[in-house]
Amino acid sequence: MKVKSRHHLKGSEARRIVSALEPFVKDALALRKASLEMTVTDDGVDVVFVNGKPLIMIVEGQPFFTVQGAIDLLPQKNLVVVDSGAVKHIANGADIMSPGIVTADPDIKEGDLVIVMEEKHRKPLAIGRAMIQGTEMHGSGKAVKSLHHVGDEIWKGLES
């Protein structure tokens, strides 16, 4: 992933991004008051730095949290919780398989962006796209396509 450019967001663009994320968090006031910078990359996933931290990513035009953003902003929706046996694989970038899922938000629809969390400490591990509905995530096969995980370039703040 190469950085093409980085610039401060205009007020209208910042408000559009923040309002897209407000339904997921209890208190969006910190986001509304923050300084937002957009980093445009060459792989189609742009990253928004909030007060210097990579907290938001834009995937196919849709704003969503990065793993760091999920840790800092504590979203309450679109959560998929996995058992401890899946943690190592997910941290290495693997997709999320249904047998490792403990619970999933029943409102998740196929194609939604989701936050994958580990069961014991409820810490976010990855951001992905749901391949099936949340109500169907207890079964077999792939449930979530991993887009970003702990330890990748976005997690490290695009230092490469």
86-138 residue pLDDT tens: 999 999 999 999 999 999 999 999 999 999 999 999 999 999 999 999 999 98
CATH topology of domain 3-73: Nuclear Transport Factor 2; Chain: A, (3.10.450)
Residue 43 CA to residue 59 CA, distance in Å, equals 10
CATH topology of domain 79-149: 2.30.130
48-81 residue pLDDT tens: 999 989 999 999 999 999 999 999 999 999 999 9
With residues binned 3-state (H G I as helix, E B as strand, rest as coil), the percentages for the chain, rounded to 5, are: 25, 40, 40
Q: For the chain, what are the domain ranges?
A: 3-73, 79-149
Dihedral class, residue 44 (left if φ above 0, else alpha if ψ from -120 to 50, else beta): left
pLDDT at 160: 44
Prediction pTM value:
0.92
